[in-house]
A and B are shown apart, each in its own frame.
Chain A
């Protein structure tokens, strides 16, 4: 691992501002963009495909970092390029016929269907419903929900939200969800989305 990569990794693992700086550094790295374009080009993609893969791959990379899925077993750059490649391959699966396999493995099937155009559209519609639900929440609730679930350290949340104890974060989260439940009840189409998430054993 080169010095630059080591430094990048250190910053990503440090979290907070250093992490954001590292991610920004990667996003602004013209060489990295060229590398992604070259990689996608070798797989038959155009320059625009490479640029798209860079953009979309970057979103995934960011999420992986925030979720703690990136544990630094490979360099940030090769991990990122791997994500871009994967995104590009998903896009190339253009028809359901090609993807559909007889399998009982739901997880595998989910992966097979990933990137299908109508599913993307449905996801978009779902996202707009979720956005609507988020609009029902106050800013504090949103912050608590995001930080409580993503890899933000308890201490950091406590300081940022000015809370007296880390345990309060959970309490606030649950209270926000209860409030949201009451508000959703007034909108049947949001209620339907909530129902779809119930346990179906």
Chain B
């Protein structure tokens, strides 16, 4: 026997399945407007349909995968690591930190050793704190178990014997390079944040809004995947294309996908845009962040010596100074 509650479920079930007469339908609709509980049953039954749809979709996908494997005998490839890992600067930061710490703690021992020991570690590591503490502390270990698991390995590599001078020198170079990459990333982050605050739309786009407006909204709401998806679809024929490409660059930068940002920046610069120097600065920094130091520094040097935009010139010069330090 159905209880009262079940009968109400059945009523809405029949309503949603179109099994009621038009008079009954009108009656249910009138009840739904005032009866909170009935409206909730209505929501639950609609949710049930969505759930059934998702269950079915999951089942189809699993079947298709299995049939494909059966056909080809090849299992689906394991999901590739996230793009973010391409940069892979974390180990360098860790090595850098270890070197610095080793320098601090081992100094007294080194002083007792003969002259072949790298006593230079201490003094050379001291000017670095400019970027090191925040960068090192913010290292997203918890985000990436694999990266986290690399940490002990590097720790283990702390020499039980004294490190040779050449190894130390290599570590210091790596350390400096990684610091510059971090610095470039931080600078780019700031530029894209500035872009974010530059009076762009905050209102949720209404139906009929342009794709660029939608992209701007997602960018500002930090829904970067959605922003990318929308901006990438804006084709060259659309008036908003250049604006969209520029915003796409900042979106890639925010997700640290420099491999995607660089070619767009190169293309944009060929079109001689109004904010050319700002984009050129982004390109220089993006090259450095992407471990293409030479290309990056060439651009930054040009901006530093002959840039017209004072702000851009200042940032480029400050960055080069950091490099020389």
Residues of A within 8 A of B218 (CB): 118
Residues of B within 8 A of A194 (CB): 40, 43-44, 47
Q: Give the residue of B29, B33, B52, B226 whose beta carbon is less than 8 angstroms from that of A121.
A: B226
Asked whether, in the complex, the Cβ of B29 is within 8 Å of the Cβ of A95, the reply is no
Assess whether B2 is interfacial by the CB under 8 Å rule.
yes
Asked whether, in the complex, the Cβ of A134 is within 8 Å of the Cβ of B55, the reply is yes
Residues of B within 8 A of A131 (CB): 54, 58
Assess whether B323 is interfacial by the CB under 8 Å rule.
no
Assess whether B101 is interfacial by the CB under 8 Å rule.
no
Assess whether A149 is interfacial by the CB under 8 Å rule.
yes
- The secondary structure that dominates the A interface is helix
Contact with B along A171-182 (1 / 0, CB 8 A): 101100110110
Range of interface residues on A (Cβ < 8 Å):
35 or more
Residues of B within 8 A of A150 (CB): 52, 56
How many interface residues does B have (CB within 8 Å)?
52
Q: How far is the CA of A137 from the CA of B233 in the complex (A)?
A: 38
Stretch at the interface among A5-13, A57-65, A75-83, A153-161: A57-65
- The secondary structure that dominates the B interface is helix
Asked whether, in the complex, the Cβ of B51 is within 8 Å of the Cβ of A134, the reply is yes
List 21 contacting pairs A-B, 8 Å CB cutoff, sorted by A: A24-B67, A27-B67, A58-B64, A62-B60, A63-B60, A96-B209, A118-B218, A127-B54, A130-B51, A137-B51, A146-B52, A150-B56, A170-B6, A170-B13, A177-B45, A180-B44, A180-B47, A181-B44, A194-B47, A197-B43, A199-B42
The 10 A-B pairs at the shortest CB distance, nearest first, are namely A197-B43, A199-B32, A149-B52, A174-B9, A197-B46, A117-B229, A198-B43, A130-B54, A121-B226, A146-B55
